[in-house]
């Protein structure tokens, strides 16, 4: 995201995760606010990723989606199994937040699309 206020909010979310751990209510509120900035930037992949992320956290009280694989393994199809966990995956959440900071990188957009697929498949 290019908006400096959005960048600060992302940094705040990351800092809160580091200092306070996973607090679903705070995280959801911050992500909803972040989504407003994403709407201004008119990036539908980002807007969707943020919405699906906070809806996932609201429904599950945790972040259960794993980091997308770099490349599908030989023989895997587009409908590959979603990488999920039964425990909070803070590393994956941190990675998702990092993707938000640099949307000019086409690999980041690709990973956001993979997160969106994983959220929908969950």
The domains of the chain are located at: 4-71+79-121
Pull the structure tokens for residue 115: 């997160």
Residue 83 banded pLDDT, cuts 50, 70, 90: low
16-54 pLDDT per residue, tens: 999 999 999 999 999 999 999 999 999 999 999 999 999
For 85-102, write each residue's pLDDT tens digit. Answer: 557 789 999 999 999 999
- pLDDT at residue 99, as a whole number: 95
Cα end-to-end span (Å), the chain = 26
Please enumerate in sequence order all residues whose Cβ is within 8 A of that of 17, keeping only pairs 6 or more positions apart, or say none.
27, 90, 93, 94
Question: Residue 88: what pLDDT?
Answer: 79
What is residue 51's predicted lDDT score, i.e. its pLDDT? 97
> Is a pLDDT exceeding 60 seen at residue 81?
no
Percent of the chain clearing pLDDT 90 (strictly above): 76
- Paired residues of 65 in beta bridges: 84
At 57-73, the pLDDT tens digits run 999 999 999 998 865 54
Residue 87 has a pLDDT of 73
């Amino acid at each position: 995201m290019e908006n400096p206020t959005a960048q600060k909010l992302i940094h705040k979310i990351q800092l809160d995760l580091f200092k306070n751990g996973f607090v679903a209510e705070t995280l959801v509120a911050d992500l909803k606010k972040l989504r407003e900035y994403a709407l201004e930037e008119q990036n539908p992949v980002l807007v969707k990723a943020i919405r699906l992320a906070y809806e996932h956290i609201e429904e599950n009280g945790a972040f259960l989606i794993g980091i997308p694989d770099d490349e599908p393994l030989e023989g895997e199809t587009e409908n590959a199994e979603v990488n999920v966990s039964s425990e909070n995956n803070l590393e994956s959440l941190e990675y998702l937040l990092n993707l938000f900071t640099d949307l000019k990188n086409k690999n980041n957009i690709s990973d956001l699309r993979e997160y969106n697929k994983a959220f929908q498949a969950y």
